[in-house]
């Protein structure tokens, strides 16, 4: 586990830097644009290329490519493995260019229908908001080609144990967007829609850098990129894994798209509130949970290729327990301290106290879904490492149906919070379904111990939650509401609550406490 801990540390520290820059980007965006129709339109338009990034780049195609590329690397060496990768990248480029052209045409048609055919009036939605969304959708879709190819190259680098390059991918996008906001919003004084257009330009510049960096890293690994339309047997195996996986990933991404479409039509702030809550939840999820899964997945694939069943069980169990040991207390803390976290980070500029109040319940609900996201991520990687992509599809379809039904039922009486609750329940359905089916479907995973560790984690998190709530209540009695109170809550309560949690977890005899402590101490030293 020592080597894996080192790689997890590399990925988590890299991801932490990326997430902090992403947080700064969101703070600036909300400060300049607020919870407005313009910010909602930009986020909605950016959802589409991001959907395909997660569907093709970081999702189904990457998950299918990694085990097949791992097998080619182990059996044939770098040269043939890279030639196989070129064939995959060539086909991916062609498909992405076609999808981009179709998507741009679709956004253009949507703009024409809203502008000239009375579609907005028929649907009783804000015409200007939908026009802005369609216009920015046309501008942003080329980003899909850049980021998907970058994500596939990052997957290849992960198999080669070059984890930091891929983990830093989002840094370049965040830096480009921060530059666009500072230059456009601060130096040039742009506001509203013109500033959102500057953000679109920042996305394209960031996407170009995102593609260039992993290309250079692969060249240093002796990769020679070229178009290659020739065929080989491993492409059949890739398609066999990919096609079911893309169906499952498509279901989950349509899930996200449906939620944002419903929120976009519900009011002019719903998409922004959902986005902001999701971004804050992604901070602990990406820094640790996805970092663990990112390192574990290619190693699981390599162990599967070698037929090491005992190694698979050990590695999967350790990764799953580590993910839950972080995501469960993070969910509790974020739910309890939702108001001061939002107030401290975002309450400035056009994002006011009313916007904080609108977002607090959405964030509290999203926070509760954090452990389920982590569990589902790890369990899905477990299926994919064994080249079973069909089972996650079936469970994803059930999750999608649950989300759609609950979203429609809850959005009118409860607004954006109702959409968040639907997301929470569907995430729980997917995570529990994957977690229960995995050891039964693939017996090799049946030895991964979880229940005893989960009980200890939940008890420690409950104790931490009680302490956090009591400290928060006490602080509110002594300090009036405002930035000072929010700062004290975040800077003072979070470290105390974290110490309480890890102390309780250690005393309980948590199985992986030494690995968890080692990871935390190494990260602490990495920041010095």
pLDDT tens-digit readout, 389-435 = 778 888 888 988 999 899 989 988 888 899 999 989 998 999 889 88
Tell me how crowded residue 225 is: count the other CB atoms within 10 A of its CB.
14
What's the pLDDT at 526?
41
What's the pLDDT at 35?
77
pTM higher than 0.75 = no
Query: 287-330: per-residue pLDDT in tens?
Result: 666 667 666 767 777 777 777 777 777 777 777 888 888 889 99
Q: Cα 75 to chain center, whole Å? A: 33
What's the pLDDT at 519?
46
What's the pLDDT at 446?
55
Closest CA to 434 of 480, 486, 358, 381: 381
Q: Which residue is associated with the tokens 């178009």? A: 227
Closest CA to 158 of 319, 291, 5: 291
In the chain, where the domains are located = 2-224+231-526
What's the pLDDT at 159?
84
What's the pLDDT at 522?
44
Burial 88-105 (b: 16+ CB within 10 A, else e): bbbbbeeebeebbeebbe
Q: Which residues of the chain have pLDDT under 50?
A: 519-528
Query: 87-124: per-residue pLDDT in tens?
Result: 999 998 999 999 999 999 999 898 888 877 776 666 66
């Amino acid at each position: 586990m020592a080597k894996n801990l080192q790689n997890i540390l590399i990925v988590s520290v890299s991801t932490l830097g990326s997430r902090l820059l992403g947080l700064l980007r969101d703070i600036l965006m909300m400060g300049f644009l607020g919870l407005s129709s313009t910010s909602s339109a930009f986020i909605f338009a950016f959802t589409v290329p991001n959907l395909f990034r997660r569907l093709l780049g970081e999702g189904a195609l990457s998950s299918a490519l990694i085990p097949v590329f791992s097998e080619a690397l182990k059996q044939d060496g770098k040269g043939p493995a890279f030639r196989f990768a070129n064939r995959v990248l060539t086909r991916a480029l062609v498909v992405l260019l076609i999808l981009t052209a179709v998507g741009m045409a679709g956004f253009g048609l949507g703009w024409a229908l809203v502008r000239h055919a009375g579609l907005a009036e028929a649907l009783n939605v804000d015409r200007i908001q939908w026009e802005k969304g369609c216009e920015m959708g046309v501008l942003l879709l080329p980003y899909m080609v850049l980021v998907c190819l970058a994500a596939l190259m990052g997957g290849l680098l992960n198999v080669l144990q070059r984890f930091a390059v891929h983990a830093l991918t989002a840094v370049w996008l965040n830096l480009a967007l921060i530059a666009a906001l500072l230059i456009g919003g601060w130096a040039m004084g742009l506001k509203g829609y013109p500033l959102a257009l500057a953000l679109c330009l920042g996305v394209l510049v960031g996407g170009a850098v995102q593609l260039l960096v992993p290309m250079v890293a692969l060249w240093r690994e002796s990769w020679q990129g070229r178009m290659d339309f020739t065929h080989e047997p491993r492409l059949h195996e890739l398609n066999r894994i990919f096609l079911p996986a893309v169906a499952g990933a498509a279901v989950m991404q349509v899930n996200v798209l449906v939620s944002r479409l419903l929120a976009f039509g519900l009011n002019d702030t719903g998409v922004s509130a959902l986005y902001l809550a999701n971004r804050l939840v992604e901070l602990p999820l990406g820094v640790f949970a996805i970092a663990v899964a990112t390192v574990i997945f290619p190693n699981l694939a390599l162990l599967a290729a070698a037929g090491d069943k005992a190694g698979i069980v050990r590695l999967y169990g350790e990764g799953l327990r580590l993910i839950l040991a972080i995501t469960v207390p993070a969910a509790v803390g974020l739910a309890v301290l939702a108001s001061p976290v939002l107030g401290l980070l975002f309450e400035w500029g056009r994002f006011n106290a009313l916007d904080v109040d609108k977002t607090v319940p959405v964030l509290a609900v999203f926070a509760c879904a954090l452990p389920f996201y982590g569990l589902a991520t790890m369990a899905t990687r477990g299926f994919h490492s064994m080249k079973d992509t069909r089972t996650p599809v079936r469970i994803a379809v059930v999750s999608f149906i649950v989300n759609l039904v609950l979203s429609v039922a809850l959005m009118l009486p409860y607004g954006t919070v109702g959409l968040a609750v639907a997301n929470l329940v569907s995430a729980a359905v997917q995570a529990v379904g994957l977690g229960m089916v995995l050891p039964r479907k693939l017996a090799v995973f049946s030895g991964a111990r979880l229940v005893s560790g989960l009980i200890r984690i939940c008890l420690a998190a409950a104790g931490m939650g009680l302490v956090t709530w009591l400290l928060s209540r006490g602080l509110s009695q002594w300090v009036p509401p405002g930035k000072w109170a929010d700062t004290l809550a975040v800077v003072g309560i979070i470290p105390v609550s974290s110490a309480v949690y890890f102390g309780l977890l250690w005393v309980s005899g948590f199985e992986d406490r030494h690995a968890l402590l080692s990871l935390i101490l190494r990260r602490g030293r990495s920041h010095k």
